[in-house]
């Protein structure tokens, strides 16, 4: 049996359990209420975080931007102009790199807004190119494209023979002249691929003589000491249908001191001026009627210690054939020279015009060392100017030799 004390302890213990149980229930209720309050107060923050997370997940998904490359990957015999273009839809191009097989990058230009990219010039023939392009959509996600193609292998090609030669020093009258071995139909494209620059800088323009020759010159004679550079970027230029250029070359030359010699046919003398100062006056003999000497500004294009002059080569038949003409310098393609003359008596020079159109200076057979002919030869260089005036003849054509200076600047720049 339970005694009175045991019953009393049991009753007290049950009461404590009820009290503790009630406390636990109250505490649980308070915790629930607290969580509800915290959740209610922080609802906007949790929503923003969730949105940010969703945006992040969205941003890591695939880009909607689509990059397209023309020509398609693996294409062969691609044209060197007009075929290459990179475009982007549902986004904008951010980077385009095009390189050839020698890792040379092709310069190009992005259109406004990044919708497209095109090369600034033409491509080279028989060359493999690699294209790598990237674009971004409105969410900043990147899309990329890689392609490889190769350009046309031409059946027919053309080249340009240039003057003056690389590394030479020339007179102030020497134009840059390029003669092509095939007729050029697409003059604009060919001229664009030829760049002539000068230091000190001066405007240099080209002029076409027919469809096989173009010359470049400034408005006035070059300034002494000018450094001139010709860049021939002809590889890949379609000069005529199916005929492509092959040259990729730079030609540099320097302009020497200024020397201009004025031949007065009426006075039968030549005055040599160097760097603005008259340094010598030489008696001459010029062309006699009906074979008078051209008027105009002529440029020395060749120098020969000794040469043969045969009338048959210039339309004079068997009128003369001199095998040992000393100190000869060419002034025209048609056969005008300024040269030493040993077969006319010394009194002829300065008193009579007796030649077939050339300008003669007194000289000795075999070439003297102190004669007027020898002196002028020694003191002249390719590109020096010889101006002829007061002759009863027409002005020499600008393409008869390197005589571009006989055309005024306005006419020169028309083509």
For position 22, what pLDDT does the model report? 46
For position 267, what pLDDT does the model report? 98
- Answer yes or no: do 391 and 295 share one domain: yes
For position 58, what pLDDT does the model report? 57
In a domain, 349, yes or no: yes
Q: Which of 203, 226, 255 is the last residue of a domain?
A: 255
- Answer yes or no: do 136 and 182 share one domain: no
- Measure Cα distances from 152 to 5, 14, 173 in Å: 116, 103, 40
CB-based contact 406:175 (threshold 8 Å): no
Place of tokens 């300008």: 359
Q: Which residues are catalytic?
A: 339, 358
- Answer yes or no: do 267 and 304 share one domain: yes
In a domain, 267, yes or no: yes
- CATH number, domain containing residue 330: 2.40.440.10
Q: Which of 255, 283, 298 is the last residue of a domain?
A: 255
- Answer yes or no: do 299 and 402 share one domain: yes
Q: Which of 255, 275, 292 is the last residue of a domain?
A: 255
Tell me how far apart the alpha carbons of residues 200 and 367 are, in angstroms, rounded to a whole number. Answer: 39
Of 372, 375, 376, 354, the residue nearest 363 (C-alpha): 372
- CATH number, domain containing residue 127: 2.60.40.3780
In the chain, the number of structural domains is 3
Of 151, 315, 292, the residue nearest 235 (C-alpha): 151
- Answer yes or no: do 345 and 217 share one domain: no
CB-based contact 240:184 (threshold 8 Å): yes
> Inter-axis angle of helices 43-59 and 4-41, to 10 degrees?
60
Tell me how far apart the alpha carbons of residues 357 and 227 are, in angstroms, rounded to a whole number. Answer: 34
In a domain, 12, yes or no: no
- Answer yes or no: do 251 and 313 share one domain: no
- Answer yes or no: do 232 and 330 share one domain: no
In a domain, 52, yes or no: no
Give mean pLDDT in consecutive 10-residue pieces for the chain, a chain of 415 residues.
46 44 43 40 54 56 96 98 97 97 97 96 98 97 98 97 98 98 98 98 98 98 98 98 97 98 98 98 96 97 94 73 93 97 95 96 92 98 98 98 98 91
Structure tokens at 405: 């200076």
- Answer yes or no: do 289 and 341 share one domain: yes
For position 406, what pLDDT does the model report? 98
- CATH number, domain containing residue 190: 2.60.40.3710
Structure tokens at 338: 């300024």
DSSP H helical ranges for 304-384: 372-378
- Answer yes or no: do 251 and 273 share one domain: no
- Answer yes or no: do 184 and 274 share one domain: no
For position 46, what pLDDT does the model report? 54
In a domain, 19, yes or no: no
Tell me how far apart the alpha carbons of residues 144 and 50 are, in angstroms, rounded to a whole number. Answer: 30
pTM over 0.85: no
82: left (phi over 0), alpha (psi -120 to 50) or beta: left
As a whole number of Å, the CA-based R_g of the chain is 43
In a domain, 139, yes or no: yes
- Answer yes or no: do 140 and 217 share one domain: no
- Answer yes or no: do 348 and 212 share one domain: no
In a domain, 50, yes or no: no
- Domain that includes residue 320, residue range: 259-408
In a domain, 21, yes or no: no
């Amino acid at each position: 049996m339970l005694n009175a004390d045991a019953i009393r302890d049991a009753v007290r213990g049950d009461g404590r359990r009820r009290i503790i149980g009630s406390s636990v229930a109250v505490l649980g209720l308070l915790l629930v209420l607290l969580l509800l309050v915290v959740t209610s107060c922080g609802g906007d923050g949790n929503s923003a975080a969730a949105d940010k997370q969703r945006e992040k997940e969205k941003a890591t998904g695939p880009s909607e931007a689509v990059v397209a490359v023309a020509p398609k990957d693996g294409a062969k015999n691609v044209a060197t102009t007009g075929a290459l273009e990179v475009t982007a839809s549902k986004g904008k191009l951010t980077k385009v790199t095009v390189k050839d097989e020698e890792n040379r990058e092709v310069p190009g230009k992005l259109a406004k807004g990044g919708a497209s990219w095109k090369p600034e010039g033409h491509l080279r023939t028989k060359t493999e190119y690699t294209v790598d392009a990237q674009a971004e959509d409105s969410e900043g996600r990147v899309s990329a494209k890689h392609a490889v193609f190769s350009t046309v292998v031409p059946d027919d090609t053309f080249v340009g023979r240039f003057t003056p030669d690389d590394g030479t020093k020339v007179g102030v009258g020497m134009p840059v002249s390029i003669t092509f071995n095939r007729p050029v139909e697409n003059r604009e494209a060919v001229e664009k691929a030829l760049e002539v620059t000068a230091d000190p800088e001066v405007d240099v323009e080209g002029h076409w003589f027919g469809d096989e020759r173009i010359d470049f010159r400034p408005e006035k004679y070059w300034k002494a000491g000018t450094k001139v550079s010709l860049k021939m970027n002809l590889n890949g230029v379609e000069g005529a249908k199916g005929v492509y250029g092959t040259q990729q070359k730079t030609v540099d030359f320097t302009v020497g001191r200024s020397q201009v010699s004025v031949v007065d046919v009426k006075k039968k003398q030549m005055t040599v001026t160097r760097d603005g100062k008259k340094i010598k006056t030489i008696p001459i003999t010029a062309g006699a009627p009906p074979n008078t000497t051209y008027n105009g500004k002529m440029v020395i294009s060749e120098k020969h210690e000794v040469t043969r002059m045969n009338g048959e080569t210039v339309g004079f038949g068997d009128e003369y054939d001199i095998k040992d003409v000393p100190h000869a310098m060419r002034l025209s393609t048609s056969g005008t020279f300024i040269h030493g003359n040993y077969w006319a008596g010394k009194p002829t020079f300065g008193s009579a015009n007796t030649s077939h159109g050339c300008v003669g200076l007194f000289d000795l057979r075999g070439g003297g060392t102190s004669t007027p002919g020898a002196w002028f030869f020694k003191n002249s260089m390719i590109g020096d100017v010889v101006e002829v005036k007061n002759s009863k003849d027409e002005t020499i054509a600008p393409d008869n030799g390197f005589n571009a200076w006989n055309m005024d600047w306005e006419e020169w720049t028309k083509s």
